[in-house]
Structure 1
Amino acid sequence: MKILIAIDSFKGSISSLEAGNSVKEGILRVIPDANCIVKPLADGGEGTAEAFVSGLGGEWVHLSICGPYGEPTDAKYAYLSDKKQAILEMAEASGITISKRKEPLYATTFGVGEMILDALKRGATSFLIGIGGSATNDAGLGMLTALGFDFLDTNGNPVDKFAKDLPNIQSIDDTQVSPLLQNATIQVACDVNNPLCGETGATYIYGGQKGVTDDMKPILDGYVSHFADITAKHFGIDKQNQAGAGAAGGLGFALLSYLHADMQSGIDLVLRELDLEQHIQNCDYVITGEGRLDAQTAMGKGPIGIAKMGKSAGATTIAFAGSILEGAKDCNQEGIDAYFPILQTICTLEEAMMPETTKTNLTNTAEQVFRLLMANKKSLF
């Protein structure tokens, strides 16, 4: 029996591979000779770089960079030297969880640019960038500044790197941009289709969670719109309405307009890069899951990408989750044949998320599910 196990990380508890190996242990208790293949899973958000390090033999690169509010921040990205590929998560530099501050006018993506520049100097020519979980709404101004773009005011002086500086920009000087960017191809993992500006744009839809108040929304949206107009005038093309331009506080717009990035579905991109389709062939079962299964899972997160691939290969797909919320039934329509919560007893959230508890719960749940499957198989034959 061949079983592919690809589970997203249980955020705040265990990694993707730890989850997968816990399920494998439970299955082997029931079917000792099962061919269980454990692969990492991510959808372009948190855990994507880790999936590449563990799945493709990459290495971690650690560095100190500028955090979301200009403070020194320790960050890391994955580097695959044989492919000259860097895998970055913008949240490592400009993530909303880095600081308790929520002052969007003073937030910057400068550290994202520092990570890209470091990878370029290391020899990277290919980039995969996940852009979820941002604390910023600077339309990528900080990132671009770190890469050598100069944004000038009416007196020809460079403006600073924060969202508050966007309305002061009158022209762009790209003569100091790193020449290493010319040979770089950039893929962006993004599952957000919002444009840059307006009521469905970055500021109005996502600004609230970053500290943008209702009275600030039209002002900051105007700042971002001004930046988009200056950009369009400089390049002769306007990408502010392209799907995904509003992702990560407008970082998507900067990547599209200045770095000519290719924006794709996060899970599709990761599945292809990790070549999971090759391993799923001839599988009897596919096991997936994540910390919380809900309606958002069904909208295209990692487990659904694996489930659809499993369906195409004729495998039965089962999902495990720490908790099951309203809307999870939608997952049954998207390729997951059945899903199971793993909690074994009443406990606090803190207790449930303890790594050893999560591993034990996954192992025990997998064991019981496969005992049922094997008992049913015997009764049929």
Structure 2
Amino acid sequence: MKIIIAPDSYKGTASAAKASEAIAAGWASIRPHDDVVLLPMADGGEGTLEAFARAHPEAHQHDVTVEGPNDVPTQARWLMLPDGTAVVEVASTSGITLLDRLRPLTAHTYGLGQAIAHALDNGARRILVALGGSSSTDGGAGALTALGARFGTDTGEELSRGGGALADLAALDLAGLRPPPPGGVLVLTDVTNPLLGLAGAAHVFGPQKGANAADIQRLEDGLNKLASLLPAHTSAPGSGAAGGTAFGLAAWGATITAGAPAVGHEIGLPGQVTDADIVITGEGRYDGQSPAGKVPSYVQDVARSAGARCFLIAGAIEEPLTTFAAYASLSAIAGSSQAAMREPLKFLTFAGAQLALNAEPSVLEESLQPQA
């Protein structure tokens, strides 16, 4: 049989690439003669660059030094695909993991703009921007500044960087803003939140970035000022992604799109699944948000359209499963979430082997627990 293995990353424990390799090893231990294809997935968050690199081994990685979200120079990377498409990640340029401590008001996306500018300088004809893992709530103002926009105060001074400074925004000059590449800019996000309001960037994601109640109000006020000056729709689904960076890039001309389908299309998942018998997907936690556009739900839809069965391996399962043909919980296999997180690849391998026992349609096993 042809088996496609297309998980997301198991955040904080195993990358999508390592996870797919471990699952494949477990599968091969039971069914060594199956045709197994590894297509590690992402949704615009952690592992997006790695997913593209694996799907396009001929792609070229570019290293660039950018100004990190805490004003410290950091080494970032972006990928040039063979067709001239550049893939840039917020995580590696302006990501939250680059901070020594959370900076809810002063973290910024200037480094992201520098990486985009570097891609343009190197001839990128199209740009994909993965927005997961951001550190700031600056509405993309930092990135636009690096691309030539000028933000000012009512006294004519240059606006400081960071979402907290947006409350003092009074003037905007886009005359020097670099044009997008001829093939356009696609923003990949795994959320549908708007820019403003209780469901927006500051209220929903600000606390994750260290914002208290007063910070959230200041960030919201700043985003409102930014929205009054930038030509983009604040209510567009996903405009609040990455602290409103999606909104800022949309004002530059970018298109906001759901990350998982876009990544799947770019790495050729639908074409590979056409003649597949089984598709295995997964993520760290399968919960109430998973069916709403996360990697497993997208992969399952692709598998269903092709008539393939879809199996799930999740670190923890917190949502009833009725549509997957078989599934495995790493926490259940390991005995606890802590044990699963200590040795994720070991238990991913075990889960792959257990699922292989369900490969034949006639095998109906509800329990995937290891035998004593």
1:191-242 alpha-carbon deviations (Å, 9 max, x no partner): 32222222222112221222222133333211221121122xxxxx452222
Matched, 1:353 2:351: no
State the aligned residue count. 362
Equivalent residue number for residue 260 of structure 1: 253
1:250 to 230, 235, 244: 244
Counterpart CA distance in 1 for 2:283 and 2:171 is: 46
1:365 to 333, 342, 351: 351
Equivalent residue number for residue 215 of structure 1: 214
Gaps in structure 2 of 5+ consecutive residues: 365-372
Distance 1:199 1:16, change over 3 A: closer
Counterpart CA distance in 2 for 1:195 and 1:28 is: 44
Q: TM-score, normalised by structure 2?
A: 0.89
The question of whether the paired residues in 2 share the 8 Å contact of 1:194 and 1:200 is answered with yes
Matched AA of 1:244: G
1:123-174 alpha-carbon deviations (Å, 9 max, x no partner): 1121111112222111111111111111233344422222233233332222
Secondary structure of 1:83's aligned partner: coil
Matched, 1:25 2:64: no
Q: Which moved more, 1:366-375 or 1:280-289?
A: 366-375
Distance 1:268 1:347, change over 3 A: closer
Aligned CA RMSD, in angstroms, stands at 2.3
Counterpart CA distance in 2 for 1:238 and 1:293 is: 33
Distance 1:15 1:150, change over 3 A: same
Matched, 1:332 2:314: no
Matched AA of 2:346: T
Counterpart CA distance in 1 for 2:217 and 2:361 is: 61
Q: CA deviation at 1:97?
A: 2.3
More helix by share: 1
Matched AA of 1:332: T
1:233-244 aligned within 5 A: 237-244=231-238
Equivalent residue number for residue 42 of structure 1: 42
Counterpart CA distance in 2 for 1:50 and 1:238 is: 30
Equivalent residue number for residue 174 of structure 1: 174
Equivalent residue number for residue 74 of structure 2: 73
The question of whether the paired residues in 2 share the 8 Å contact of 1:332 and 1:338 is answered with no
Distance 1:347 1:105, change over 3 A: closer
Counterpart CA distance in 1 for 2:214 and 2:155 is: 30
Matched AA of 1:246: G
Distance 1:32 1:165, change over 3 A: closer
Equivalent residue number for residue 62 of structure 1: 63
1:303 to 288, 296, 308: 296
Counterpart CA distance in 1 for 2:53 and 2:292 is: 26
The question of whether the paired residues in 2 share the 8 Å contact of 1:193 and 1:246 is answered with yes
Secondary structure of 2:214's aligned partner: coil
Matched AA of 1:319: L
Q: TM-score, normalised by structure 1?
A: 0.88
